[in-house]
Structure 1
Amino acid sequence: MVLAPALLVVAALLAQPLGSRSGDDAGAANLHPVVLVPGYGSDQLEAMLTAAYEPPAPACAGSADQGWFPLWPNHTAMRDASQVPCFADQMSLVYDAGADDYRNADGVATRTPFFGSARALIGWDRLVQQLEGMGYRDGETLHAAPYDFRYAVAPPGHPSAVGDRYFRDLGRLIQESRLIHGRPAIVVAHSFGCALTYQLLLSRPLPWRRRYVKHVVLLGPALGGFAHGMRLLSAGMDYGLPNVPRPAMLRMARTQQSALWRLPTPLVFGDRPLAMTSAAAYSARNVSAFLEAIGFQEGVRPYLTRVLPMWEALPPPMVPVTSVVGFGVSTPETYVFGADGLEGEAEVLYGDGDGEINMVSLAAVERWSEVEGQVLKVVRLRGVHHDGFFSIDFALNSTLAEISEAGESVIEQIGIVSCQQKCSDY
């Protein structure tokens, strides 16, 4: 039986890394397999150009024998400005309105290497090393499920070739982990990976979830979108590259299927103003008007038919969940635009969150506390940025502690664990 929520204040977190706790063969034999689902841009992406590719500039023409090359991360474009248009062109997708699905640009083939292995991940090194110190072995009891983060999935009745294939692969990986080791898997997801993991669980029958998934650990879940998602669509994305022209930034931001998943949802954000001009205010309830106002009319249909239906409700997954979130970090909450309108610079009004995801979205999972039978634990870490779970010692240790606890026993009550001391001591 699920108990009522309680607030537990932790005076100090772990002093030593958990990797020192175990590592012997006997302990490793008792481990539940762990499947890691990364966030946006946290795994590698490779591309290959075919004869159908029409380069936007001479420097973008690939040779016939070039084969597969790194598309993300793209260190070549960082060093050579002539490659920036190539990266922008090859990174963009096409929404085929007739087929009602997304695809790569003509002549561009992509793949995510190392599926099943932690070698695929970017920025997870310290967490992976600590898990290995606990006895996990990459490709055996420790797996990663990289994906082409430009894509997402779609609701029933709408095709999503890439997303559906990923869900088949991820579901098979989780299922085979149980069949091989005789123990259900612990799924650890971060950021956009949390949204995908959640939707995967909802897409599977409840008996499947309970048989193959022991516990889900969500790191920085944004199950209600975030305010900065609107700004990314109005201003574009440069992926950290220098001197990216605005048209290229907008194309990369707006053509990707996953871009619309960043938008704040009405269920979570309600009527609060997120973008304001002298003539209008835009909230999560009039996103379609916002998309039209920024000149992204072609995004309205896929948003209304392929994204919004998936986030009109947040039913509990009915498997044990631990949500680990940062808080107390200034996070963009409202963008106030001046005379240049939505295309110009904006004054940013900040609120609580993890620096990227607003607190209202991070806390969306807490509504599951009222559902009988749903096991939920929330861990709040003061001062931890959205990516801090992999770099800040106390946040990393807290994450490892939750994974370890998930493997030892089912959490029998809902609680909010809030770190209030030494949380800004990086």
Structure 2
Amino acid sequence: MTTLMTLVGIAVFVVGLLFSIAWHELGHLSTAKLFGIRVPQYMVGFGPTLWSRRKGETEYGIKAIPLGGYIRMIGMFPPGDDGRIRQRSTSPFRGMIEDARAAAYEEMQPGDEKRLFYTRKPWKRLIVMFAGPFMNLVLAVVIFLGVLMSFGINTQTTTVASVSDCVIPASARTDSCPKDAPDTPAKAAGLRAGDTIVAFDGRAVSDWGDLQASIRAADGPVTLTVERDGERKVLEATPIKNKVLKTDGRGGYVEGEYVTAGFLGFAPASGIVPQSFPQAVDTMGGIVNNGFQALIALPSKIPALWDAAFNGGERAQDSPVGVVGAARVGGEIVTLDIPPSQRVATMLFLLAGFNLSLFLFNMLPLLPLDGGHMAGAVWESVRRGLAKVFRRPDPGPFDVAKLMPVAYVVAGLFICFTLLVLVADVVNPVRLAG
């Protein structure tokens, strides 16, 4: 049964993956057609074609390898300096450029002269190339907000999980109470595990981050209104100054960094709590920031990834994963011993994270990624703008094809990284259980 459920989870993730790719390419397709660019092909996947159907001037299809997708636009690159699409050259780098240029015109038909991608104004080309990653961003935002506001997220609450016996600084790294340590203000006030704090000093509270900030800012005696066994009680407490962990602004802590602030001496309980729209937006902002930081840190994780793949090293929980690894995680989610609603929420979070990664990755200003074409359009716009300001001749379209040798190097590095991740995902996968 566990194997069957794992396969179901993998299948669900693959379907979500294919939808995300199709959604990405739809952004390119719709804006290209909006600006009159001819699009002969819209494909989800790579390799042999499993199914295709022509509608109008575009062939729509699904290919065998679900590792990406593409639309084929006519005239992605301008002709060479001599006006030709292809030249004869013995230079391997020149050959790369000429091959790329020729491929952009191979399906050109009579009447397409005014429907070429490179003939569109830079801002239109920028929109066409940005539309794909933007669709992934929209999907990620919708899923994140939907899950956070409906299913909820595991978060700290205003319910008391435990009350500390004595006052010790957070940096002490011990739970033992010294003989001369005083009782915590929470214990002295009579606070108990299971109490839910509903008001702090007469002001209603329902969010742990808000309550935590109020405690740390307190200076002098306060009242705690708690719900206990269906009744409300008002307790009096006097927070003291103590060395505590610095907060991250969302109710969590920054390990290894300490501040002196108000202290009561209890730990909050955690639970699945739906968030309000402002809370969900704030949480999503943290997720996006974490994704951006993870992208920056990606090169630094390659040595550990190599060690995990080939030397049996430990695979870190935040190690990069590929499609195979993510699909395996999707299969593991379905078998988790948690309520069905939380399995659905976790699977949706995985899909949203995948779409966020697609957005961030494609925004890198490198060919052959969308960001590389966007950078080319921006540079052309700047170059033509400067020519107007200084009354110089129009320099014409920026020839992105001349960057194809660099694009092949980048693509080669991406392929090597993808293969490394694939090996690690197979021989030493990331597991949700650690």
TM-score bracket for the superposition, by shorter chain length: under 0.3
Give the greater-gyration-radius structure (CA).
2
- TM-score, structure 1 as length reference: 0.20
- TM-score, structure 2 as length reference: 0.20
* Structure with higher helix content: 2
